[in-house]
Structure 1
């Protein structure tokens, strides 16, 4: 007889969380965006000074710049840690907050701090909003922690199990939704820069190719010292199974064998039985039963090297989905220039940012592999490669068809001109009134007239279409909110 999965309790004594939201912004307004961020108290992150003196992680957590640099291959580090806004890469702006709020849901009241906010201006008009949260250091059950994470990441609460949460600001006493907390309280200036897809309803920055109504959740959880972590607890961390709308503990699987297979695919247990890391499409969580004072290095890596490792692969997923979406939007009868732009877009992304190896350390490589599997990156990249092949094939076929048609007309004109000894002039054309004699032309004179007029018309058409395409291309680039499209 099959056994049902049991839910075991786990007390969490300390937690550090990050919630990451991808946004679309106008890449051509990057300098204005940067100036606005600085005016609002955000500091540009550079690996040399590493935001020294700013408490952005809480609990005296320090991220070492040299360790960040040494954990990434040089060609990756140049993109992840650019020296200035003029360089290609991920431009991070950070602001400490240290504000206290209360999370209210049903009868639950969870006090928490917002430690800092990152706004990262990434390549190709993709930005990331990262909000670092720490629950107040009181013992809390795992189900409540996961329930908090599941609700806090919901920017647009469309499902019943995501509704009902209210954020209370301790300083002003105001009640906010998650959307209001981000876009009206923490970062009200974002609305002026974030793009919004006209086809979609919801918060600012919706992507038509990505399910961005919920943030990606990340956490470092400390349980009681030497407490045992069971399979059901680790599974619930990966799926963010907290509580049902009625407040009961919830797990989204009933089969222990299924849970085992799921963990085999998503669990990193290198440091078991004391620490585990689970990576899924929705969450990236590390849980440990070691005291925080003995995990300072691991916390630093979580806030630093692992954060950037995750960010790169999350960017890969978004970009690969974007390329697939752009490919599906092609109107093959009209979008010849769009096809060329898409080929350039794929090529630049692949050559500048898409790397199979990003980390120099063994644990970094292991996490990279888990991120790639959780985000299905390899399969998405194969699909993009097929897309690129089809685009090149389409371009070659179109170019071949145009060349064949041009050669056909040129051959006709050349043959006819050769028959006439390269002389298509009729004596009547030399007189201002000679054109009146057209009705009396012989067959050969009609052939001469049609050939001459057709040749002139073809030349005018080729010149007009060539300059027209150049003008349309410049207009499209100027109108576009991305440097590629």
Structure 2
């Protein structure tokens, strides 16, 4: 099937699955200036901010499993600890809001009915008007082919032409013809008024990233972790102690590793898309905005170091390779260099033109104009004298006063542009650092 996840390429087709856990991750883009309203809206619908110091949340969102917050925190030292786990909305970072659900539903594909559980849902509000929705699902005691079929169909928010006539989700005596209808009607509140469609052209439209954990009953099953650009799958045997530890990592450090790399990929793709849409002759402010975006992102959110733990380093390297992060970073550096050269040329030309104009006015006024009529400006001005001026003297008057007007205009223009740039920079800071109520310029 087109778009199926990487699990189907293994030799496990009809093995019996004891449990399958899924985290379906869908990138979103929220409208500029709506972040605080979106947070208020989520909180009114019982979403709570995820905080590492709230140990009750270790067991709140993962069904019968738990996540160690201390292990989650130590895993990402010294890299992105504060970025991934901001303590307040005034801190820069990826802000996670979660809601416990624990509901049961079923997916019907042709004659196959697959029961599943939804444990919880996350909404990430990230800098640069980006974010993610994560849906945690679980399936138990089914053939591997049926588990794979569920993942391949559930990942599409909007069904394709071939899938539309055959797939539906049943929940609480209601039937939904698409996964998107089920998600936005039942799992998360209607967020459409806060969202825009900028993200659709960055990643595969209406298709969720699949992060999965599959445990088989057969002990002889031996399959590595598998990666591709749309999925990250972990396979295991049905050993209770080992599985409990691995699932804790799956919901904790592994999940956040996926989120941070998805965020990096999304920002890099947004930078490339924004750069390609700029009209080079009319968008000086957009060039400055993009320049600021690149520099603030690479200084605040993108790191070329890896987690301190050896296992974390290997995981991060594989995820970065699957998301082509290094390639995207190289392209972004080239974009930044192009922006720098373009802005340097614009400033040089503008300064040269300004210097030429001021020089001409200074020379003409100093040598020609001021010597012709400044004696009439001393003391009381006799306006009748101006009537007797010859053409050269009138030209001198024009040069002097037009020079004064030009200087005043340039001064006022510079002041206006400075104020506009200050406002723009304040807005860019709010977008990139997510300081909702307070912010300052660095």
TM range (shorter): 0.7 to 0.9
Matched, 1:214 2:214: no
Structure 2 unaligned blocks of 5 or more? 1-9, 434-442
Matched, 1:36 2:41: yes
Deviation by residue 1:345-392 (Cα, 9 ceiling, x = unmatched): 111100000012241211111111111111111111111101111111
Alignment of 1:399-410 (within 5 A): 399-410=347-358
Deviation at 1:117, TM superposition (A): 0.5
Matched, 1:390 2:383: no
Matched, 1:20 2:57: no
Alignment of 1:336-375 (within 5 A): 336-375=284-323
Q: Secondary structure at the match of 1:166?
A: strand
Contact 1:47–1:81 at 8 Å: present in 2 too? yes
Match of 1:322 among 270, 280, 296: 270
Match of 2:150 among 142, 148, 151: 148
Deviation by residue 1:280-327 (Cα, 9 ceiling, x = unmatched): 101100012242443111110000011111110000000000011111
Q: Secondary structure at the match of 1:155?
A: coil
Q: Secondary structure at the match of 2:190?
A: helix
Partner of 2:51: 46
Q: Secondary structure at the match of 1:284?
A: strand
Q: Secondary structure at the match of 1:120?
A: strand
Relative to structure 1, is the Cα distance of residues 165 and 480 closer, same or farther in structure 2, using a 3 angstrom cutoff? farther
Alignment of 1:154-169 (within 5 A): 154-160=156-162, 164-169=166-171
Alignment of 1:51-90 (within 5 A): 51-52=56-57, 54-58=59-63, 60-90=64-94
Relative to structure 1, is the Cα distance of residues 433 and 150 closer, same or farther in structure 2, using a 3 angstrom cutoff? farther
Partner of 2:436: none
In 1, Cα distance between equivalents of 2:329 and 2:388: 67
Q: Secondary structure at the match of 1:403?
A: helix
Contact 2:376–2:385 at 8 Å: present in 1 too? yes
Relative to structure 1, is the Cα distance of residues 473 and 164 closer, same or farther in structure 2, using a 3 angstrom cutoff? farther
What is the TM-score when the length of structure 2 is the normalising length?
0.87
Higher relative contact order (CA 8 A, sep 6+): 2
In 1, Cα distance between equivalents of 2:432 and 2:84: 21
Aligned residues: 421
Contact 2:59–2:65 at 8 Å: present in 1 too? no
Deviation at 1:447, TM superposition (A): 4.5
Match of 1:432 among 383, 393, 404: 383
Query: Larger deviation: 41-50 or 29-38?
Result: 29-38
Structure 1 unaligned blocks of 5 or more? 198-205, 229-272
Contact 1:166–1:175 at 8 Å: present in 2 too? yes
Contact 2:184–2:191 at 8 Å: present in 1 too? yes
Alignment of 1:207-286 (within 5 A): 207-228=200-221, 273=222, 275-286=223-234
**Cα root mean square deviation, aligned:** 2.7
Deviation at 1:82, TM superposition (A): 1.1
Partner of 1:112: 116
Deviation by residue 1:186-214 (Cα, 9 ceiling, x = unmatched): 212322322345xxxxxxxx444333411
In 2, Cα distance between equivalents of 1:380 and 1:207: 18
Partner of 1:182: 183
Partner of 2:141: 138
